[in-house]
Amino acid sequence: MINNQIKIFESVGWKGYELLDTGEGEKLERFGEYTFVRPYEDAFWKKTLSKKEWENADGKFLNSKSGEKAGWRFANKEIKDSWVMSYQDIRWTAKPTPFRHLSFFPEQQVHWDFIYEKISKANRPIRFLNLFGYTGVASLFALKAGAEVTHMDASKQSLALAQENQKLSGLENKPMRIIADDVLKFLERESKRGVKYDAVIMDPPKFGRGPKGETWKIENDLPKLLASVKKVLSPNPLFVILTSYAIDSSSLSLGHALSETMKDLGGEVSQGEMCILEHSNGRAITLANTAVWETTN
């Protein structure tokens, strides 16, 4: 049965991070002890907080649309190159990157909670696969919940941070494979080897390159990705999470694609917008689209 409803996947209750305010094409956020201004082009409204509160931010990321050279500008000269963030006993390194991010995506908190809960309550061994896994925070929640984890990304720099984050969380003795590879080639080999996974999360980019220069384009390769993921699912899969910052269309597009892939396995698909409540006035601010398939057994 097709689900045409759009759900709000809302991240709440995390003291280490706050979305303080949005407006006029920007967002003001607190990451631990630091506050930053980053572009948020969908904020077509006026800012709620005062100009002074925005100007007191420790740093700001400028994009090319501002007329200046894109990149970070730091008002606080004592700001560290990196610092440790934490949520529910999981610890990882935060650091400003050339791509406006800080080495993780706080709106993914809603999926971290889901991953931990589903795996913890599964009452059976779970093999978890994180594709386009970046610096590994989601993988650490699966690891903490008791899963055997495979974490894959094309960026060796991101994977080095994932390994560092595993140690920061005190999980270095838990089973996590960290692999640099092209996603489609990796899945093809896993399928041929008969390797199966019970739970999968993937966050494919709009465009990317594998370690050997392989090209990824989401409009061409997403159907291939979903078909390949299905081939490595176990006979009794627990969940599949698909997130996209790259698709401008409705989250229903992700939901329909995931529903079509999983239609003969039962279960149910929820799709919607990943949101964080804005501290200044309580609005739910959309930051990504997502679709989640989970078993109903």
DSSP-based three-state secondary structure for 213:
coil
State the DSSP code for 283.
P
Q: 1 pLDDT exceeds 60?
A: no
CA distances for 86 relative to 90, 109, 214, 266, 276, angstroms: 5, 11, 34, 36, 17
Distance CA 166, CA 84 (A): 12
pLDDT digits (tens, 9 = 90+) for 198-243: 999 999 877 566 666 666 566 678 899 999 999 999 999 999 999 9
CA trace torsion 260, 263, 264, 267 (10° rounding): 150
CA distances for 190 relative to 187, 210, 224, angstroms: 5, 17, 15
pLDDT digits (tens, 9 = 90+) for 153-201: 989 999 999 999 999 999 999 999 999 998 999 999 999 999 999 999 9
* pLDDT class of 77 with cuts at 50, 70, 90: confident
Beta carbons of 292 and 270 less than 8 angstroms apart: yes
Average pLDDT over residues 33-43: 95
Measured over the CA atoms of residue 231, residue 234, residue 239 and residue 243, the dihedral's sign is negative
Q: Which domains does the chain have, with CATH numbers?
A: 10-83 (2.60.40.1180), 85-95+99-294 (3.40.50.150)
Angle between helix axes 183-193 and 218-231 (nearest 10 degrees) is: 20
Neighbours of 61 (CB within 10 A): 21
Average pLDDT over residues 48-76: 89
Neighbours of 19 (CB within 10 A): 23
pLDDT at 4: 78
Question: What is the DSSP secondary-structure string of 49-105?
Answer: S-HHHHHT-SEEEEPGGGTS-SEEEES-TT--S-EEEEETTEEEEE---TTS--SS-
Q: Which amino acid is at 39?
A: P
Beta carbons of 79 and 33 less than 8 angstroms apart: no
pLDDT at 63: 83
